[in-house]
């Protein structure tokens, strides 16, 4: 992108497609999973063609999400190592949340909240895949003893809860931080956004003349 338009590139088309594949399948998994999680959510089975279809589809969608998520890990892991500046930035979190932050340390492409999101999902999603695999009927559950299935179903429910909470924070952060969503829809952010939220990243891409 040229400076004229005041935009900088943040995500390539393949990164965006990959992100939305994970996002769409995640939402489908959360809805179909919650449907079986508690009677209060059972009505969600209507979105998937009834109870049996919900039960059938959920794990297959899970596999699609897991494979897509591996792609996201490969694409984003390089930028997600936690740095000294991140830890310094974290100390200002209260001010940041209150929209009162000043003189923040210069951070790179991701802030520490985004990095926590990344690493949480790196742990939780394989856990969901593994536990989901163990309780997957009629194909795989029959190969596991009932004690293992009982642990797996509990792990799956708790991990799903954690994943959903993490994603609620993620989605809210994107809504709250104006100018973020276009990064994943259009691939670009404004230079002001980049300088303000991710100054070290902005400097780096300026240096590399990637604007």
Partner 1 sequence: MALQSLDILRRSATTTPSPGVRQTTEVAKLIDVSKCIGCKACQSACMEWNDIRDEIGSNAGIYDNPRDLSADSWTVMRFSEVEVEKDKLEWLIRKDGCMHCADPGCLKACPAPGAIIQYSNGIVDFHEENCIGCGYCIAGCPFNVPRISKKDNKAYKCTLCSDRVGVGMEPACIKSCPTGALVFGTKEDMIQHAEERIVDLKERGFSNAGLYDPQGVGGTHVMYVLHHADQPELYHGLPKDPSISPMVTLWKGITKPLMSLGIGLGVLVGFFHYIKVGPNEVEEESESEQQ
Instruction: Give me the residue label for tokens 């892991």.
Output: 77
Q: Is 34 in the site for ligand HEM (CB under 6 A)?
A: yes
Rg (CA), the chain: 20
Active-site residues, by number, are: 170
CA 140 and chain centroid, separation: 27
Among 1, 24, 122, 164, binds ligand HEM (CB under 6 A): 164
Q: Would you say 37 or 119 has its CB closer to partner 1?
A: 37
Q: Is 150 in the site for partner 1 (CB under 8 A)?
A: yes
C-beta of residue 55 within 8 angstroms of C-beta of residue 71? no
Nearest alpha-carbon partner for 129 in 118, 119, 138, 140: 140
Site residues (CB under 8 A) for partner 1, limited to 29-58: 34-42, 45, 50-52, 54-55
C-beta of residue 187 within 8 angstroms of C-beta of residue 10? yes
Q: Is 207 in the site for partner 1 (CB under 8 A)?
A: no
- For residues 135 and 59, what is the distance between their CA atoms, to the nearest angstrom? 10
Phi, psi at 100, each rounded to 5°: -120, 10
Among 81, 91, 137, 186, binds partner 1 (CB under 8 A): 137
Q: Is 129 in the site for ligand HEM (CB under 6 A)?
A: yes
Q: Taking the complex as a whole, how short is the minimal distance between the CB of residue 88 and partner 1, in angstroms?
A: 19
- For residues 108 and 174, what is the distance between their CA atoms, to the nearest angstrom? 17
- For residues 56 and 88, what is the distance between their CA atoms, to the nearest angstrom? 47
- For residues 142 and 144, what is the distance between their CA atoms, to the nearest angstrom? 6
Site string (50-79) toward ligand HEM, x via CB under 6 A: -----x--xx--x--xx-------------
Q: Taking the complex as a whole, how short is the minimal distance between the CB of residue 36 and ligand HEM, in angstroms?
A: 4
Window of 66-74, 106-114, 117-125, 167-175 that interacts with partner 1 by CB under 8 A = 167-175
Helix (H, G, I), strand (E, B) or coil at 158: helix
**What does the binding site for ligand HEM look like in residue numbers (CB under 6 A)?**
26, 29-30, 33-34, 36-37, 55, 58-59, 62, 65-66, 128-129, 132-133, 135-137, 153, 156-157, 160, 163-164
């Amino acid at each position: 992108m040229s400076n004229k338009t005041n935009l900088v590139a943040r995500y390539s088309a393949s990164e965006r497609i990959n992100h939305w594949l994970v996002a769409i399948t995640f939402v489908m998994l959360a809805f179909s999973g919650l449907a079986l999680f508690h009677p209060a959510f059972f009505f969600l089975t209507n979105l998937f063609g009834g109870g049996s279809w919900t039960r059938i589809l959920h794990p297959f969608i899970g596999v699609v999400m897991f494979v897509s998520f591996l792609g996201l890990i490969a694409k984003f892991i390089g930028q997600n190592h936690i740095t000294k500046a991140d830890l310094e930035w974290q100390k200002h979190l209260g001010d940041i949340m209150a929209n009162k932050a000043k003189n923040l340390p210069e951070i790179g492409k991701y802030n520490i909240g985004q990095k926590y999101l990344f690493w949480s999902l790196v742990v939780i999603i394989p856990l969901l895949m593994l536990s989901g695999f163990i309780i997957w009927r009629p194909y795989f559950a029959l190969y596991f003893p009932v004690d293992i299935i009982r642990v797996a179903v509990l792990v799956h429910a708790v991990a799903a809860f954690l994943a959903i909470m993490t994603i609620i924070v993620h989605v809210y952060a994107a809504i709250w931080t104006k100018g973020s969503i276009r990064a994943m829809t259009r691939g670009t952010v404004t230079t002001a956004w980049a300088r303000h939220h991710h100054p070290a990243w902005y400097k780096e891409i300026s240096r590399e003349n990637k604007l």
